[in-house]
Amino acid sequence: MSRTPKIAVNTIGCKVNQYDSAAMLALFLAQGYEQVDFDMPADVYLVSTCTVTAIADKKSRQMLNRARKLNPNAVICAAGCLSQKDGEALKEKCDVDVIIGNADRAQIVERVKENLAERRLVTDVTEIRKDDVYEDLSLSSPTDKTRAFIKIQEGCDNFCAYCIIPYVRGKARSRDIQSILNEVSALVSQGVREIVLTGIHVSSYGSDLKDDARLIDLLEALDSIEGLERLRLGSLEPLLIDEAFCRRAAQIRALCPHFHLSLQSGSATVLARMNRKYSPEMYLNSVRLLKKYFDAPALTTDIIVGFPGETEAEFQETVDFVNTVGFSKLHVFPYSIRTGTKAATMPNQVDSETKKTRVHVLTRLDERMQESFAAQFVGQTVSVLFEEPDGQNPKNYIGYTKRYIRVSAPAEQNEIRDIKIARTKGATGYES
């Protein structure tokens, strides 16, 4: 490659995978590559695959095959969780050149060089081991100046019965606090206005660090970075939220009153079968604390419907629980079998029609709850961070409040502006 080599990146799945993609892209850019869109001709295509559901597996393979069609001579790299779990099977099903595992991302550029030199399949998938340490990759520059997702943690020790992630991402391990502070300081000085902390199990941040620093210590340290305007937390475990956490968190200037607390089910018996570590009562206690320490906090969550053996009565317990909490947004997923997990072999798998009906019930409830949460701010003035043009209204930009409600109003990109809310717009947010 004598001209500037081109790289195209595609990511399937979660924010952690997106961060990993951006960090691997930074390694290529440092070697003189130029990034192009994924549907353009490129010399290297990098797909960060996902295996959280069967659909994610399929999308990952489709993306690898699409890359091959876009340029039959390109180097096609498969990274991420599907490469880690099923690297061998991937070789059979997709015409890939480099397969890289979750412990080997830092070597991606070297592996591409090997492939180019020897024109042979290069596989680098280290078995996820118990003694893995955090692989410290970082972003060289923001991919988006409005909001940057920062990875603070990798892996999970929880082994929820439905989840394959601990098998492909390994044990929980935390990123060094100074490394996070350095990256956030650098991004803020380049104009990033909001930082979102992500990880596979953010709540366990620090449990493996020698200096006893926990998530709340990290939040306090980040809050002292000059110019950081918003700090948002990724998905949390309800048990993290206790009185001591809330008391300190409520003093953190930049922290958005938006908490994503994974619920998965509102039924005690389903939670026990899922191997979740809390009961609905414990969850409710965390909600009460958040409502005590934060003014009208936005509470969002994930729910899995149709977990093996979920009866109508258990599903109804979830519906009732959701109504009791009053979330600002639900993410509802039908249970999907993942081979290798405990739930995959459980009896009484729920049929797909029942799952579809249950998704539908919660989706309707979600729309009503979103609208009712948003309605309480009509007539108030709220701070909005604007991100992108409103496709429906060329005069407006779309932005988000600290409680992550979508707003359409006249503004500039990347601007934080106080907006008086005129009306809600269905479940899709506000208009000024």
Of 163 and 195, which CB lies nearer to ligand SF4 in the complex structure? 163
Question: Of 7, 22, 152, 156, which lies in the binding site for ligand SF4, with binding defined by CB under 6 A?
Answer: 156
DSSP letters, 56-119, are HHHHHHHHHHHHHHH-TTSEEEEEEHHHHHHHHHHHHHS--SEEE-TT-GGGHHHHHHHHHHH-
How would you class 348 by CB atoms within 10 Å of its CB: exposed for 0-12, middle for 13-18, buried for 19 or more?
Answer: exposed
Quick check: 50 binds ligand SF4 (CB under 6 A)? no
Q: Which of 148, 160, 219, 398 binds ligand SF4 (CB under 6 A)?
A: 160
Binding ligand SF4 (rule: CB under 6 A), the pick from 9, 50, 137, 163 is: 163
The one segment of 98-106, 163-171, 293-301, 396-404 that binds ligand SF4 by CB under 6 A: 163-171
Of 169, 201, 162, which Cα lies nearest the Cα of 337? 162
CA 8-59-130 angle, to 5 degrees, is 85
Contacts of 71 by beta carbon, 8 Å cutoff, 6+ apart: 41, 42, 43, 45
- Smallest separation, CB 167 to ligand SF4 (Å): 9
Q: What is the DSSP letter of 397?
A: E
Instruction: Among 53, 138, 143, 158, indicate the residue that binds ligand SF4 (CB under 6 A).
Output: 158
CB of residue 201 vs ligand SF4: minimum separation in angstroms?
A: 5
The answer to whether the CB of 261 falls within 8 A of the CB of 299 is yes
Region 186-225 residues binding ligand SF4, contact defined as CB under 6 A: 200-201
> How many other C-beta atoms can be found within 10 angstroms of the C-beta atom of residue 398?
21
* Interacting span for ligand SF4 (CB under 6 A) from 94-102, 126-134, 156-164, 208-216: 156-164
- If one asks whether residue 159 binds ligand SF4 (CB under 6 A), the answer comes out as yes
Size of the site for ligand SF4 (CB under 6 A): 9
Query: Nearest-CA neighbor of 46 among 32, 58, 54, 26?
Result: 26
* Least distance to ligand SF4, CB of residue 18, Å: 16
Binding window for ligand SF4 (CB under 6 A); candidates: 20-28, 154-162, 184-192, 394-402: 154-162
How does DSSP classify residue 264? B
Residue 197 CB, shortest distance to ligand SF4, in Å, is 15
Residues that bind ligand SF4 (CB under 6 A): 156, 158-160, 163, 165-166, 200-201
